[in-house]
Amino acid sequence: MTHINIASLEIGQQIGSSEYLLTRDSLVRYAGASGDFNPIHYRDDFAKSVGLDGVLAHGMLTMGVAAQVAADWVGDAGRIIDYGVRFTKPVWVDAVDGAVLVVTGKIGEIDLENHKVRIDISATFNETGVLGKAQAWVRL
């Protein structure tokens, strides 16, 4: 684990930022791992038949990818002790170009007594936020 001095942290301090390319292959792999084979995640014709603009990423895939910024910062995903998001917008995954998810984490709260830090996570696709109130608590 990376050693983080909790006393040196500041509210609003950025802890990391990454871009993740989600492709149709990513969606198929995630479907296999999760068991979520809903065709809105891999078939344009089906997605459009139910009123969607096209294939969209699994919400839980988006949520999981977004948590990576906190895991990378703390150095051990097992130190994430609480995590929650609200799904606000879909991530449309183009058959050719995929979709780029941009994830940034900032310090939102510091609990010195319990050695915990809340990471506020921003996840955007095409410059639009796709997760609301995405927050991960990590124990240092």
Supply the CATH number for residue 86's domain. 3.10.129.10
H or E segment and range at residue 16: strand 14-22
CA distance 123 to 129: 6
Q: Cα–Cα distance between 2 and 43 in angstroms, integer? A: 42
Query: What is the reported pLDDT for 109?
Result: 98
Residue 21 lies in a domain: yes
In a domain, 18, yes or no: yes
d(CA 71, CA 81): 11
Q: What is the pLDDT of residue 115?
A: 96
On the question of pLDDT at 1 being above 70, the answer is no
Whether residue 43 contacts residue 120, with contact meaning beta carbons closer than 8 Å, is answered with no
**Total structural domains within the chain:** 1
Identify whether 6 is part of a domain: no
User: Per the domain annotation, does 17 fall within a domain?
Assistant: yes
Per-residue model confidence (pLDDT) at position 92: 98
- At residue 73, does pLDDT exceed 60? yes
- What confidence tens digit (pLDDT) does each residue in 10-55 have? 999 999 999 999 999 999 999 999 999 999 999 999 999 999 999 9
The answer to whether residue 5 is domain-embedded is: no
Closest CA to 94 of 64, 118, 126, 72: 126
**Does residue 2 belong to any structural domain of this protein?**
no
Three-class SS of residue 107? strand
**Whole-number average pLDDT of the chain:** 97
pLDDT score recorded for residue 2:
62
Q: 65 is written with which tokens?
A: 């990818």
**What is the rounded CA–CA span in Å between residue 29 and residue 40?**
15
**Host domain of residue 123:** 12-139
Would 133 be classed as within a structural domain?
yes
Predicted local distance difference test score (pLDDT) of residue 4: 94
Instruction: Look at the pTM and tell me if it is higher than 0.85.
Output: yes
Cα dihedral across residues 57, 89, 101, 108: positive or negative:
negative
Q: Hey, is 10 helix, strand or coil?
A: coil
Residues 106-116 have a mean pLDDT of 97
Predicted confidence (pLDDT) at residue 3 exceeds the cutoff of 90: no
43 found inside a domain: yes
SS3 88: coil
